[in-house]
Amino acid sequence: MFSGLFSSSAADAADFAHLEQASVTFCDVVKRYGDRPVLKGVSLSITPGEVVAILGPSGSGKSTLIRLINQLETLTSGEILIDGKPTRQLSRRALRQLRSRVGFVFQQFNLYAHLTARQNITLALEQVHGWSSAQAQTRAGALLSQVGMADKADQYPDTLSGGQQQRVAIARALASSPQIVLFDEPTSALDPEMIGEVLLVMKALAHSGITMIVVTHEMQFAREIADRVVFIDEGQILEVAPPEQFFQHPAHPRARRFLQKVL
């Protein structure tokens, strides 16, 4: 479904212009909000092409963990390596490149309400990446087809269902051909009957070789799609395991309690 989508744009050579490996490594990452620690020394290596599901109770630090990767939050101490390269104190230009290689899909879609589905995708391609209008239109059309939204390209977000809006948001996250895509509870704001269509798009993406880090409460999805499950509670990773092992024989007592509640 997504084959051929991930050829690179004409990115100029600099730190994060070419993330061939697309690995993500957390090294003893601490995040505090004021005095309050919300990540208490997280270490984790995610390999290129891996699909990782982040599970854990509300408030455990899942969103913070993935928002740190593309610096929607800044870390307090420790280091995050992308493609083996440190990501602290980047120049503006390097940060822009990093963000174009790391897509982000939010729970609340975050589409621009005053722009059509197509314009939501072309905007960044034209204004951030300097694509011509014609190139951006072509790219947006291809992406919208891939998420099954070609016929809705000229509609505004408020005329689309939640599931359709989230599919547009996924297409937008893929516009700059990222090698890593982060999802923060992408189906949590959706009515139940719309969850399936979004998960279907994500499944196709998972098989495309892209690195995916997905915060989710969709246990069945994590079970089917993830290469590894990361269980986090109170700002600490308590368990990392392949899904079959995690769901059948969770090792940590807190993971067992969590699963008893959600399954």
Interface residues with ligand ADP (CB under 6 A) are 33, 38, 56, 58-64
Bridge-partner residues for 33, per DSSP? Answer: 36
Phi-psi region of 34 (alpha: psi -120 to 50; beta: other; left: phi over 0): left
For tokens 């051929």, what's the residue?
4
Q: How far apart are CA 125 and CA 175, in angstroms?
A: 7
99 binds, among ligand ADP, Mg ion, none (CB under 5 to 8 A by kind): none
- By a kind-dependent CB cut-off of 5 to 8 A, residue 58 interacts, out of ligand ADP, Mg ion, none, with ligand ADP
Taking only Cα atoms into account, the Rg of the chain, rounded to an integer number of angstroms, comes to 18
Least distance from C-beta 48 to Mg ion, angstroms?
25
Closest to ligand ADP by CB, 60 vs 120, is 60
Instruction: Report DSSP state, residue 151.
Output: G
Name, in order, each residue with C-beta under 8 angstroms of 183's C-beta and a sequence gap of 6 or more: 66, 104, 105, 202, 212, 213, 214, 215, 216
CB of 142 to ligand ADP, least distance (A): 32
Supply the minimum distance, in Å, between the C-beta of residue 254 and ligand ADP: 14
Is 178 or 235 the residue whose CB approaches ligand ADP more closely? 235
We find the least distance from the C-beta atom of residue 229 to ligand ADP, in angstroms, to be: 15
59 binds, among ligand ADP, Mg ion, none (CB under 5 to 8 A by kind): ligand ADP
Query: Whose Cβ is closer to ligand ADP: residue 39's or residue 168's?
Result: 39
CA pair distance 239, 224, nearest whole angstrom: 18
Based on CB atoms, which residue is closest to ligand ADP, 203 or 217? Answer: 217
The site partner of 61 among ligand ADP, Mg ion, none (C-beta below 5 to 8 Å per kind) is: ligand ADP
- Residue 244's H or E segment, with its range, is helix 243-248
Q: Which is nearer to ligand ADP, 102 or 232 (CB)?
A: 232
